[in-house]
Chains A and B, each alone.
Chain A
């Protein structure tokens, strides 16, 4: 622990606390102590003071309390006799700095015009975004928790050249890290450098310019604090838990570029409290292991070409990120870019030419790892604007590989290829479509690089099951048309298997809370055998939606211990539903209409309800406007059961669920159906006949009444008695 570095950090803290006091005094004089202060759209007040102290700052006068706390923490300046100042003092100075930063930043939000943009990306040449709203925090913070983004790099100062700034930003992006930029030195900052190079910034691209003031650095740590409060379940004021959560879960570090003044030293000391080390490109002395951060605390000087990998090493980031050896940048930040026709060099497959993507497994000795062949013209053999067919044929081998994994790996081809800068990919299987930009072509991107990407990423992400990968890229129609029939047969075979997917076969269901804007307490649980009640969403859709947007309304939910296998009740599902229904639903049965049935939002395709005297149920589709034997029309029924309330005897569900083996299994399944509106009955005829066959009921389809033969419960009972409907001989429903 160097005295020099401690002295500078403590001196910086003093300067910032004095500045905060000065600015606060001025603000109170000018605007009055009752003036509202807040960061935009947040429920966490000023996040650091709220998290660390439990202080709810709402008015200018509240900042006086925070100022007091900051002053209390200020340690004495190390004097000449003290040769080894304790790290503890430096940490206190760091925390005092963060409080002072928050005071200064909060005062900025009382100014008119605001010094920060309210949106999520810079515009009109104005860079600075300031504190993130809770919407952004929730959207992005979850990525820290689920590991999509391991953490962030808080970059202060500026790089020696714009080129170095861009290179470091790209390198951090490729490692999925967020880049938070603040603290200009002599008016120069990394964010400005990126802007000058025309780099698109904003939360979407993970390059976030917070502010040019040194105090804007606090928004990085404020963000981290809110992640601990919202996702880590830490209580406001429980500073130990917040700091520990960040140390263990959020892989962040500070990159200091260029001269580091006292104030920046003080920020570094603040970050160490969270377990975030500082890595500098200039010689600013060091703080080596002493126990707060995982490894070293301050490391310098580190050359630019090594600074990112050094930071990752020092912070103890364990994830292995495969460097994809292609001549263009590669990372999730480049997903979702469309290559416009003007910028396009070549188009492959799509609507005008045939194509497909196919992955299959082979024996170990049949695959030569890393072998990539292009069969047909390469990119430099075709003219600009060309349209070509394209087949990507991947062969993998591995001791742990199973045919069931083939479609899963195959679906990843889309994400893999899309992450290349200048390459646009859509679709999958025999509906695929790729564009390569002129810029990518100019940088040396070739068709063979599709193979390179797939090879690297399959090893990187599925190394546990894949040992060898070889890829053939076909760009000639003749060969593709020869192969396409075979692969279509395989696709078909795989779909058949998928249809066999059961609730027992998976460990995870998906939630859907899309409809909570209408029914705040309703949670759909989507299982392989019970699709969402709107009919729009099945288990695979939920899974895919979660992959597209991990912070979205579809979350994976572990089943946990089975409480009731017949009725479909699981421990972890109950817990999830309890929490997400705002503690209104303690349990539910996925396969029952009588006992704790699943709730409905109001979007259901069908409603089933019991017809007590028939010992069965009726099912009506939402398009049917006529009367039903329940005495209510669809609209009245819907009004009674929507809104996230459990109504025993009534169930909203999808059409698809009727054909499921789990359809009200607790009550005996589809053979309870005694009435359906005619259109629905006709549409489901094949399904109902299949159920009849399976249950060994001759003419089951004909036994079900519809509006042409019965519209009251008595008429239904008459009809089914004549037909000897199986429901009559089932045990009573309740």
Chain B
């Protein structure tokens, strides 16, 4: 199993990139894919053009509030596992699970501990796990993800964006999740990379995997609120991503 996680500042196109990567993995026919939407403003499913059933967050809340009213004879571990397995959105191309909102107040040690075990077990059934994270990487810090082969940090082509990416990269060191390789991707690049950006990348101690050009066609589709999944293969971004992905050993 290989895990690819995508992170970056809000609005840099993380979910779009995740969608592109899933499309690419699928086209290469490399094996089964589990897509994980770990952003609390769940939207990956819209880009992928599928409907969500439940999120892990809502299942966890349900379990918390029903405490003593579980289906007769079922204990919480079984209930949680059943609900999570049933919440998976299944398509011929990929399966999708959404983490949903992080928790509210109260004690979640028990629920999170169970959750970790269940997700670990579930993800082992796939050749690829693609995680669309939020910038704070909440789920990584809670160790709901065990190990990451590639962390792709997405940034706008501006120095501030690169600095934020540097922060995200450093933040990882404090987390328990193992990350094998951290790579920077610059998204929505209009022309070529200005030297000032290259300098910032160096200062922030980041490794640039490559760039993805601004893509009017994708933007338009997205703005119309249409899923980008069906049109991906004919986009500029997809071509650019292809070059990038070939650099990884997947």
User: Could you list which residues of chain A lie within 8 angstroms of chain B, going by C-beta atoms?
Assistant: 119, 123-124, 204, 336-338, 340-342, 350-351, 407, 414, 426-431, 433, 491-492, 494-495, 514-515, 532, 534-537, 540-541, 544-545, 548-549, 553, 603, 605, 622-623, 656
Contacts and interface: CB of A to CB of B under 8 A. Distances in A.
A431 B82 contact: yes
Nearest to B91: A341
Interface in B71-126: 71-78, 81-82, 85-86, 90-92, 95, 105-107, 109-111, 113, 117, 121-122, 124-125
Given A342-B32, A427-B82, A548-B117, A123 B74 contact: no
Contacts of B75: 540-541, 544
A665 B247 CA distance: 68
B110 A537 contact: yes
B77 A548 contact: yes
28 contacts: A119-B178, A337-B125, A338-B122, A338-B125, A341-B91, A341-B92, A350-B86, A351-B86, A407-B73, A414-B78, A426-B82, A426-B86, A427-B82, A429-B72, A429-B73, A430-B71, A431-B74, A433-B85, A491-B73, A514-B110, A534-B107, A534-B109, A535-B67, A536-B76, A536-B107, A541-B75, A603-B107, A622-B106
Contacts of A430: 71
A495 B86 CA distance: 25
Contacts of B92: 341-342
A124 B85 CA distance: 28
Nearest to B90: A341
B74 A549 contact: no
Closest 7 pairs between A and B when the two form their complex, measured CB to CB? A536-B110, A341-B90, A603-B107, A336-B121, A338-B125, A544-B75, A534-B107
Given A119-B147, A204-B124, A495 B72 contact: yes
Nearest to A603: B107
A541 B67 CA distance: 12
Given A123-B2, A427-B82, A549-B117, A340 B72 contact: no
B249 interface: yes
Contacts of A342: 32, 90, 92
Nearest to B121: A336
Contact of B74 (A336, A340, A428, A656): A428
Contacts of A494: 73
A515 B109 contact: yes
Contacts of A350: 86
Contacts of B107: 534-536, 603, 605
Contact of A429 (B67, B71, B81, B117): B71
Contacts, number: 91
Nearest to B122: A338
A430 B178 CA distance: 40
A495 B71 CA distance: 11
A97 to B, nearest CB: 34
A536 B111 contact: yes
Given A123-B149, A515-B109, 4 more contacts: A338-B125, A427-B82, A431-B71, A495-B73
Nearest to A414: B78
B64 to A, nearest CB: 8
Contacts of A495: 72-73
B68 interface: yes
B77 A545 contact: yes
B159 to A, nearest CB: 35
Interface string B143-180: 00001010000000000000000000000000000100
B107 to A, nearest CB: 4
Contacts of B122: 338
Contacts of B113: 514, 553
Most A CB atoms within 10 A — which of B2, B106, B149?
Answer: B106
A532 B76 CA distance: 14
A656 B70 CA distance: 14
B147 to A, nearest CB: 7
B33 to A, nearest CB: 10
Given A336-B124, A338-B122, A124 B72 contact: no
B249 A429 contact: no
A59 B164 CA distance: 41
Contact of B85 (A204, A338, A540): A338
Nearest to A553: B113
A114 to B, nearest CB: 13
Nearest to B147: A119
Contacts of B78: 414, 426-428, 544
A491 B90 contact: no
Nearest to B149: A123
B117 A340 contact: no
A340 B76 contact: no
Contacts of A532: 110
Contacts of B249: 124
A119 B3 CA distance: 14
B74 A429 contact: yes
A163 B74 CA distance: 42
A554 to B, nearest CB: 10
Contact of B72 (A337, A492, A535): A492
B36 to A, nearest CB: 14
A451 to B, nearest CB: 22
A572 B157 CA distance: 65
Contact of A491 (B1, B72, B105, B106): B72
A622 B76 CA distance: 22
A491 B67 CA distance: 19
Contacts of B71: 429-431
A428 B70 CA distance: 13
Nearest to A494: B73
A428 B147 contact: no
Given A337-B125, A535-B67, A622-B106, A428 B95 contact: no
A622 B75 CA distance: 24
Given A341-B90, A495-B72, A544 B77 contact: yes
B202 to A, nearest CB: 25
A428 B73 contact: yes
A403 to B, nearest CB: 15
B118 to A, nearest CB: 9
Contacts of A605: 107
Contacts of A426: 78, 81-82, 85-86
A542 B68 CA distance: 15
Contacts of B86: 350-351, 426, 433
Given A427-B78, A534-B109, A340 B90 contact: yes
Given A340-B95, A514-B109, A622-B106, A656 B68 contact: yes
The listed residue with most B CB atoms (<10 A of its CB), out of A123, A427, A430, A540, is A427
A435 B216 CA distance: 43
Interface string B41-84: 00000000000000000000000000110011111111001100
Contacts of A553: 113
A730 B147 CA distance: 58
Given A428-B74, A494-B73, A656-B68, A534 B121 contact: no
A51 to B, nearest CB: 29
Given A119-B147, A514-B109, A340 B81 contact: no
A123 B113 CA distance: 26
Contacts of A544: 75, 77-78
Contacts of A540: 75
A532 B107 CA distance: 12
B144 to A, nearest CB: 15
Nearest to B110: A536
Nearest to A205: B124
Nearest to B124: A204
A542 to B, nearest CB: 9
